[in-house]
Every structure is written in structure tokens, then in C-alpha cells.
Amino acid sequence: MKNSASVDICFYIPTTFWPTQLPSSSAENWSGFGLGIYAWTVQTYLKLREAGVACRLTDQLPEEGIVLFHANATRGGNIRPGAHRLLICLKAEATLCAQAQFHVVQNSCEAVGWLGCYFIPHWPQPGLQPRLAERKNRFETIAFLGHRNSLAAELMEPEWEKQLQQRRLNWLPVINTNVWDSHQAVDTRWNDYRNIDAIVAVRQFNLKRPGYRRKPATKLYNAWLAGVPAIVGRELAYQTVGTAGVNYLEANSMAELLSCLDRLRQDSLLRARIVKKGQIRSIHYTPEVITQRWQQFLNEVAIPAYQAWCSCSDWRRQVQYGQARLRNYGDRITRRLNL
């Protein structure tokens, strides 16, 4: 299936960061999907290609067409728009990219049309293995699946495991500490929820207001799709896509976290209700639905914008490029002030 305007749509990874081996499909439990630069580019390219969208993955910056790149790709060389080149930055947690005309963001609170920012949910974990049905009402294993910097310091202390042991609960942390451009040593068990009875995903306790406006709600999507109740921190992304007390539990202190665990341990009906409500919400965050959102974005935003960009005068393109640089500067100030 070609796009409606036969525009060349490219996902760009500089040669410096080109992976030594690519996955055979988007559902493969490939260690590279543990890096943002590949999770956003390679995975999106594969999902769209598998859906019949005409697009390609390249390590050469095209002279013409729509070029989508992860924010970290700018570390591999100069990426600038051209008279027939429209740049779309897959922003992740970075600041706005001055060179890009548009950004795809992973938290809906960053989706501001006049800034050229559009929200598309991040992909759930590839090759997700849901909780085994035969576990039934067992409540024994509590897990964290993520990067070390996404887990509150208190949950790395012996006292945390002691509290779990007193409740006859096992702690299963599957933690990666890799840097952004290295995936060879990545633990690929983030997809395995088969023997997990609940997840804990708290980055920080005692937040005065919901935080982490640049983080996605991926851990919640994964829990919903895996059929596992989630206890998460006080974050904007979670509060936007879900409802605390309905399809997940929220903890903003260690006492609240232990209370949530006690409630889940003692009340199997509460666990079942949270899982059921989560499964209802999960239909909005399946790979198929997210693929459709990508197709809609390309057809309704990116391709018309590319056509308009190509028809602009050089003067008008310079004005738009200057506006983008101002947006980038403002975003950096906002981030520095932690707004």
C-alpha cells in the first residue's frame, strides 16, 4: 500500500548508530528495542511496513521526502531540513529539536499543535507474554521491569525486600543499566509477565504534584495488556491514560505502596477488577491501534505538511526554521525550570 501522495517516507538512523543486526519482525524480542533510538525508529518502520505502508529505513539522510528520526540521531551528525526535506523528530524525553518542523511526543501533555508536537503512544513491549491463566488467584511475585533510573532509590534497599518477605511476597526486579547507545548486554525479559502477579513502577516518592511530563505510560500499557495489576508513581502520563483506583493503583510514599500491596494481597476481587478495567483500556494501546494512529498522522499531518513545505518560498522556509529555533530555546528554558 503506497501512501496517498507517493511521498518518500524514511526512518533515519545515522551510520554511526546503525545496528549490526536488525530484527526480522516488529514482534521479535530484540535487545535493540531496549534503546529509544531503535524502539522508535526500527520498530515503527517495521510496524508500518507490516501494515502495508510504503516506507524505508536508511542510514543516509535523503535529499527529499519525509524523514523521521529519534532525538539521539542528532548526535551522529548534522540533520537539517531542505527545500524538499521535512524533518520529524521522535522526541522521547529530549528537548525540542531546532532542526525539526514537527515532533512526535510520548506524553499527551506535550502535544501542543502550535509547537508542532503530536502525541502518539509509545509501543508496548514487543513479544509481550501475558500472565498465565493457571496462576488464577495466586499473589506471590511482585516485579519491576525497567531501567535502574526509573526505580525509586528506596526500592533498591534491603528494607523493601524485608517488607515483601514479611508479606510472603517475592521481589523480581528485571533491571537494565545500559547507556542509550548500547544494547548488547540488555536483559530481554521485560516482555515476560507469565509468572508475575503485580508490578511496581515508582520513580520517585513524595512528589508535590504529578511529575515526569516527558515520560510515557508504557509500563501501564504493558501491565494492562499482560493482565497484571500495576502500582505506579504519581505521574502525569499514568493519570492521563488511566484512573487511579480503577485500572491501577497509585503510590506517592512507601507507606502508600505497602498499603496498596496489602489491599491487593488480601482482596482477590480488587485484583480481578483492576485487571478487567485495565484490559478494557488496553484496547486503545495495542500495536494495531497505535499503527493506525501512525498511519493517520502520516496521511493527515505529515504528508500535507510536506507538500506545503515544498511549495513554500525560500524566505518562508527560513522564517519557519527561525520559529523552530525559538521553540527549541523556549523548551530548554522550560525544562531547566522543571515546568
CATH assignment of the domain containing 188 = 3.40.50.2000
331 pLDDT exceeds 70? no
23 pLDDT exceeds 50? yes
Compute the average pLDDT of residues 304-321. Answer: 78
For residue 296, give its domain range: 9-124+286-337
| 165: enclosing H helix or E strand | helix 158-166
Q: SS3 string of 101-112?
A: CEEEECCHHHCC
The verdict on 324 and 277 lying in the same domain is no
Q: Is residue 2 one of the residues assigned to a domain?
A: no
Q: Is residue 99 one of the residues assigned to a domain?
A: yes
303 pLDDT exceeds 70? yes
Instruction: Specify the number of domains making up the chain.
Output: 2
Q: Is residue 315 one of the residues assigned to a domain?
A: yes
The verdict on 189 and 254 lying in the same domain is yes
User: In whole numbers, what is the pLDDT of the chain averaged over residues?
Assistant: 92
Q: Is residue 246 one of the residues assigned to a domain?
A: yes
- Rounded to whole angstroms, how far apart are CA atoms 144 and 172? 6
The residue from 283, 304, 323 where one domain ends is: 283
4 pLDDT exceeds 90? no
Q: Which of 217, 140, 130 is nearest to 172 (CA)?
A: 140
The verdict on 276 and 299 lying in the same domain is no
The verdict on 272 and 313 lying in the same domain is no
pLDDT tens figures, 143-163: 999 999 999 999 999 999 999
Compute the average pLDDT of residues 100-111. Answer: 95
Compute the average pLDDT of residues 278-297. Answer: 98
Q: Which of 1-15, 33-47, 129-143, 255-269 has the lowest mean pLDDT?
A: 1-15
Q: What is the pLDDT of residue 339?
A: 46
The residue from 283, 299, 329 where one domain ends is: 283
The verdict on 109 and 162 lying in the same domain is no
Question: What is the band of 77 on the pLDDT scale with cuts at 50, 70, 90?
Answer: confident
Q: Is residue 1 one of the residues assigned to a domain?
A: no
The verdict on 115 and 191 lying in the same domain is no
Q: Is residue 3 one of the residues assigned to a domain?
A: no
The verdict on 192 and 301 lying in the same domain is no
Q: What is the DSSP string of 53-122?
A: ---EEESS--SSEEEEEEGGGGGGS----BTTEEEEEE-TTSPPPTT-SEEEESSGGG--GGGTEEE-PP
Q: What is the pLDDT of residue 325?
A: 61
Question: What is the band of 5 on the pLDDT scale with cuts at 50, 70, 90?
Answer: low
Compute the average pLDDT of residues 320-327. Answer: 62
The residue from 265, 283, 301 where one domain ends is: 283
Q: What is the pLDDT of residue 112?
A: 87
Q: What is the pLDDT of residue 123?
A: 98
Q: What is the pLDDT of residue 323?
A: 62
Q: What is the pLDDT of residue 329?
A: 57
The verdict on 169 and 275 lying in the same domain is yes
Q: What is the pLDDT of residue 114?
A: 78
Q: Is residue 279 one of the residues assigned to a domain?
A: yes
Q: What is the pLDDT of residue 332?
A: 58
pLDDT tens figures, 175-208: 999 988 889 889 999 999 999 999 999 999 999 9
The verdict on 279 and 151 lying in the same domain is yes
Query: Which position has the higher pLDDT, 321 or 194?
Result: 194
336 pLDDT exceeds 70? no
Question: What is the band of 335 on the pLDDT scale with cuts at 50, 70, 90?
Answer: low
The verdict on 167 and 227 lying in the same domain is yes
pLDDT tens figures, 200-235: 999 999 999 999 999 999 999 999 999 999 999 999
Q: What is the DSSP string of 230-282?
A: EEE-SBHHHHHHS-BTTTBEE-SSHHHHHHHHHHHHH-HHHHHHHHHHHHHHH
The verdict on 300 and 256 lying in the same domain is no
Q: Is residue 46 one of the residues assigned to a domain?
A: yes
The verdict on 225 and 313 lying in the same domain is no
Compute the average pLDDT of residues 247-259. Answer: 98
Query: Which position has the higher pLDDT, 299 or 114?
Result: 299
